[in-house]
Amino acid sequence: MLRKTQLRLGVVAAAAVIAVAFGAAVPANADPTPVGTIKPLVGVGSDTTENLVNGLGTVIANIGSYDATGSATIQTRTGGVSFNRPNGSGSGQKALSASINQSGTRVWPATTGIDITGQLDFARSSAAPSGSFPGTDLTFIPFARDAVSFAVSAASDFPRDISIGAAAQDSVSPAPFTLRNIYRGTVTNYTDNNFNTVTIRPLLPQTGSGTRSFWIGQLGMTEATITAGGVATDLGNTVQEHNGNYVTQPGDIAPFSVAQYIQQGNYAALPTTVVERRGNIQLGSIGTIKPYQPSVGGGIEINPSFPVNRLVYNVVSTARLTGTVAADVQLQSVFMGTGSQVCTASATIKQYGFGTIGSLCGNTTTYKQAFQF
């Protein structure tokens, strides 16, 4: 166990180097401040990118971003309605779709009956457009790259290098020790260093999370197959994403954003409030490849060779990308193209642990989806 403790301290020390490199900063609150401040461009959604977009809001005055969790309701327009805070990429896309309101009156969520037409301008998303919603109503504009690994308790003997696995192995007996088989429920335990059998508890982010859908997809599975495996039927296995405090037992395992892991370690140096909620976790390697690596000048950064990686997006109404009214031109200036205010804020993107994506940043032609209700 001493070796694991030393490794954990080494990661914390590396994060501290990042903090020194970027200098001290005075944190700001997560939602637009002071409370009640209304920004021209308002977004909701992904937990994964909320801190980064909050940080972008310190260098781009027009952005007002509301976290995935916090008060039960938010008000985003002067004199506007208060409505339920969307938690996660999918929820953000649904709320944005309701706000755009091009298919008749839409409410968010449906159970409240609250009409939120015109209350939102963009949605944060760590998930790509879904093939379940073919169409072009929404444009997903990529602006950074993340990676996702698995987190386990640093105090455990849970294997630290696990392969993804493949459907072709499903009939192999005994089942190989892979991430796919862990989440299929066909690998249910491991043996610790004292030769004790430890029961595995696979954790998943909340429904509507982009990380949840991405992770399941990377394992070659669907919500239906996850449920069939018995994981999603136990509410105790569903947790808020990127919160290592839920990983408490030696058999716990959960997907975790590498950028979130880095920024949480660098929380003291960031210009916005980032809650250090990693707890006592370590991120594992996949197929011998580590999720992060030393960065030039000290600290750590995402390993560009890590096999499980993804683009992250800001989602907008496609119609507004060609609009000529002042509000649409403002939205285009912030999000559209490599010269946009978001894409030129590369230092902030890196500061929050994400990777930059060069000419792909600000792309508005490739990633489309119909409204999601």
Q: Residues 139-143: what's their mean pLDDT?
A: 98
Q: Residues 91-102: what's their mean pLDDT?
A: 90
Domain-by-domain residue ranges, the chain? 41-144+309-369, 145-302
**Which of the pair, 230 or 200, is modelled with greater confidence?**
200
Q: What is the pLDDT of residue 146?
A: 98
Largest CA distance in the chain: 68
Q: What is the pLDDT of residue 23?
A: 34
The answer for residues whose C-beta is within 8 angstroms of residue 202's C-beta and 6 or more apart is 182, 183, 185, 231, 237, 253, 254
Compute the distance between CA of residue 60 and CA of residue 82 in angstroms, rounded to an integer: 25
pLDDT tier at 106, thresholds 50, 70, 90:
confident
- What pLDDT, in 10s, does the model give residues 315-356? 999 999 999 999 999 999 999 999 999 999 999 999 999 999
Asked if 138 contacts 129 with a C-beta cutoff of 8 angstroms, the reply is yes
Q: What is the pLDDT of residue 20?
A: 33
Mean pLDDT of the chain: 89
pLDDT above 60 (res 24): no
Q: Residues 101-117: what's their mean pLDDT?
A: 77
pLDDT above 90 (res 283): yes
Here the tokens at position 189 are 């335990």
Compute the distance between CA of residue 195 and CA of residue 50 in angstroms, rounded to an integer: 42
Q: What angle do CA 299, 257, 372 make, to 5 degrees?
A: 145
- The upper half-sphere exposure of residue 265, i.e. CA atoms within 13 Å in the direction of its Cβ, equals 26
- What pLDDT, in 10s, does the model give residues 26-82? 334 468 866 567 899 999 999 999 999 999 999 999 999 999 999 999 999 999 999
Compute the distance between CA of residue 15 and CA of residue 300 in angstroms, rounded to an integer: 7
pLDDT above 80 (res 18): no
Q: What angle do CA 154, 298, 143 make, to 5 degrees?
A: 85
- Which residue matches tokens 């949605």? 123
Q: Residues 132-136: what's their mean pLDDT?
A: 93
Alpha helices in the chain (DSSP H): 2-22, 50-56, 89-100, 179-184, 210-218, 223-228, 258-265, 326-335, 346-351
- CATH assignment of 41-144+309-369? 3.40.190.10
Q: What is the pLDDT of residue 237?
A: 82
The dihedral sign for the CA sequence 20, 22, 26, 29: negative
Instruction: Give the SS3 label for residue 41.
Output: strand
Compute the distance between CA of residue 153 and CA of residue 218 in angstroms, rounded to an integer: 22
* Residue 149 φ then ψ, to 5°: -120, -170
Architecture of the 145-302 domain: 3-Layer(aba) Sandwich (3.40)
pLDDT above 90 (res 234): no
pLDDT above 60 (res 16): no
CA distances from 326 to 78, 323, 331, 340 (A): 18, 8, 9, 16
Q: What is the pLDDT of residue 9?
A: 35
pLDDT tier at 103, thresholds 50, 70, 90:
low
Asked if 150 contacts 285 with a C-beta cutoff of 8 angstroms, the reply is no
Query: Rg for the chain (alpha carbons), in Å?
Result: 21
Compute the distance between CA of residue 142 and CA of residue 332 in angstroms, rounded to an integer: 14
Here the tokens at position 166 are 């493949």
Q: What is the pLDDT of residue 21?
A: 35
